[in-house]
Chains A and B, each alone.
Chain A
Amino acid sequence: MFLHPGIIALTLGSVIVLLLVFFASALGIKIIRRWDIKSSSEEQLMLERKTYLVSTLVQYALLFEVVSIFLFIYTAEDIHTLLAGAMCATGSLNANPFGFPALYAKIAVFFTAASWIAVNHLDNKAEDYPLIKMKYKLLLAALVLLITEFILQFLYFLKIEPDVITSCCGVMFSEKGKGIASSLASFPPLPAMILFYSLFAVTTATGAAAYKQQRKPFTYLLSIFTFMFFIFSIAAIISFISLYFYQLPTHHCPFDILQKEYYYIGYPLYAFLFAGSFLGIMAGVVERFKKIPSMNRIIPAAQKRWALYSIIFLTIFTLIASAPIILLPFRLY
């Protein structure tokens, strides 16, 4: 069922991104092998020029990945009408075992590409490109992830068969008893709520500490807590946040909040969650680069900035998520 406009767009986009990153990786391998900052040869000059190309390629690839995540969810939403028993994007993604892994792979690619750009940004600030080899190894990892994503997405769309009227008999109820599981298993709301808000408190507290002092335990803790907060926020959206947005005690879909019916609230919600989590995690990840002499002033400045933005973004996320709980009439308890 490949001839669907959304699927064509996603596949075409993935092929292009794959080509871009593949080309960038090929240049990257060359750079890893031949790079010598002290040399002033023609080759080194050319390699330095090529780093511009690589970073441009990856930036474009990242941009498309962001669009692609939403396009993917929207396409899943769009094709749910073709599948018996699927009520929303969750149902479509459950239609075969490749749906959710493809989405996870997309999110992983997004984080990898974003961290590549962050590392590249820091690296370009230092005089001697200290992170260059590490950077290009990260790029190769991104390529592997991207290939995985492409294969999963391809298999997902390839294996989807729309349930349409056949000429012999109009009904397919005899073939499939129940249809597709349309909902996600969810955490019980009350414990999830308690855990979500306490985790938020702990995360912002460590964030504040890391903002004040860019030292080891704080930055690492911030990384760990934002990562936990990210994972748990997704669980919380499925468990109770979505219920308050939909004003329904049974609808757990994390994707419907992206729809017009809910004023596209999902976009700012996820954008702040992703950005805040990403910056918080990065603040700890770059901690080990502090040892490099040319980086010892750049890193703390970046960590300070990232910790601050991380707290701000995650707070906005939590406010958006809490708004319907406080403002709307629906009550779970």
Chain B
Amino acid sequence: MAINKHKNILDYTLQSLLRRKFKNTGIILVFTFIIFAVSSIILLSYSLKKEAGMLLKYSPEIIVQKILAGRHELISTKIKNEIMGIPGVSKVEPRYWGYYYDSGVRANYTIIGIGVSGIENNRLIKGRMPSANEKNAAAIGREIADARIIKKDIGDSLNLQNSEGRWMEFKIVGIFESDSEILTADLIIISESAFKSLVGMPEDTATDLAVRVANETEIPTAARKIKELFPYSRPILRDEVIRTYDAVFGWRSGLILAMFAGALAAFIILAWDKATGLSAEEKQEIGILKAIGWETSDILEMKFWEGLVISLTSFMCGLILAYLHIFLLDGFLFAPALKGWSVIYPHFNLAPFIDFYQIAILMAITVLPYIASTIIPSWKASITDPDTVMRG
């Protein structure tokens, strides 16, 4: 009985919405656009966050950099043994990496030189990794392979200009597959010695040192001891890197959201205005409903359904469009604002990630203000006096 009544009111609401297609489609379109924009930002920032977290899970517990006059400097590999002496440290490894600007495709590559121990996480490669002593072998990311005018494949050669201007030829022995896009898209891996001669790095130095600490609770202590032993060093903890990424993505997406606040406010005013400005026809309709026995609370319920239908329709459309935009079209509209790091990625896919929390945030930012702005106009409509309206 009781449920039937609500069903009938909903049914009536849907029909009355359809009768005023033009006005309602306008609202839905604008609202869908707002929700699309806001959802895109939230979806993109959360999947970037997730992606960063997943990648950093395998990074070393502590990275030791040398700081000179506040700038990152090459670190001496001779301090390796002293760091190994700190209790709790299980492994110290020099890392060799840098950026290479390729004027041909106008993109920055990340170049890593691998030493004897190689790179642990190499299961994503097609072909093989270059070994430590190979002078002219390279493994490259899928995007570099595709970005060159002549597409590269295993067995082809790749020419890079060294610090003295001479060309060095590398044979491509492996290509990273696309699952690990964000990490490997722009990556070139060569051997340690090839890296040193490519960039002209002096012997006994490295870009930074990766320090492995087996026991999680010993990480801060080990980092403090490194700082005490080498005051010029800057130990960076993995947790801090993850935290910084989280903060940056949260802050960036918040900033863009705040910029959208103006658009949202404009929409709320529009919704308020549309809900307040009842046409004579609508007023008459409510008057007739009341005259045939609808109560004020029934009209309020009808208006409630109306708001719910409009906002949920727009919400679904907006969210689905945003999902397509972010995960199929790579978020081309907002990605530059959120990614914002200096390396150019021609293309990368994000793993779709969406949860209740994001939907709750989106609801609170979009649907709630809309519903709230229509309460008072709905009530005004519901107390319409049938007598005055029908007399016109």
Which residues of A come within 8 Å of B, CB atoms? 1-10, 12-13, 16, 19-20, 23, 49, 52-53, 56-57, 60, 64, 67-68, 70-71, 74-75, 77-79, 81-84, 162-165, 167-174, 260
Contact = CB atoms under 8 A, between A and B. Distances in A.
Contacts of A23: 376
Interface string B193-225: 000000000000000000000000000110110
B351 to A, nearest CB: 16
A173 B258 CA distance: 33
A6 B364 CA distance: 9
A4 B241 CA distance: 18
A120 to B, nearest CB: 12
Given A8-B254, A52-B379, A56-B300, A164 B240 contact: yes
B243 interface: yes
B369 A12 contact: yes
A7 B247 contact: no
Interface of B: 41-42, 45, 53, 65, 70, 220-221, 223-224, 227, 234-237, 239-244, 246-248, 250-251, 253-255, 257-258, 296-297, 300, 355-357, 360-365, 368-369, 371-372, 375-376, 378-379, 382-383
A57 B377 CA distance: 12
Q: Chain A binding site: helix, strand, loop or mixed by DSSP?
A: helix
Given A79-B250, A82-B247, 11 more contacts: A8-B254, A8-B257, A49-B296, A52-B300, A64-B364, A67-B360, A74-B360, A82-B246, A165-B236, A165-B243, A170-B235
Contacts of B296: 49, 52
Contact of A52 (B41, B239, B242, B383): B383
Query: Which of A5, A6, A77 has the most chain B CB within a 10 Å cutoff?
Result: A5
Contacts of B300: 52, 56
A8 B365 contact: yes
B382 A52 contact: yes
Contacts of B223: 171, 173
A53 B297 CA distance: 10
A169 B67 CA distance: 9
B375 A164 contact: no
Nearest to B363: A67
Contact of A163 (B243, B297, B364): B243
Contact of A71 (B227, B250, B360, B378): B360
A48 B227 CA distance: 73
B383 A170 contact: no
Contacts of A84: 239-240, 243
A71 B360 CA distance: 7
A70 B360 contact: yes
Contacts of B224: 171, 173-174
A3 B251 contact: yes
A67 B361 CA distance: 10
Contacts of A71: 357, 360-361, 364
Contacts of A3: 250-251, 254-255, 257-258
24 contacts: A2-B254, A3-B254, A3-B255, A4-B251, A9-B365, A12-B364, A12-B368, A52-B297, A52-B300, A52-B379, A52-B383, A56-B378, A60-B371, A64-B364, A67-B360, A70-B360, A71-B360, A77-B357, A83-B243, A164-B244, A164-B248, A165-B236, A170-B234, A173-B220
A5 B371 contact: no
Nearest to B251: A3
Contacts of A168: 70
Contacts of A2: 254
Contacts of B355: 260
B379 A163 contact: no
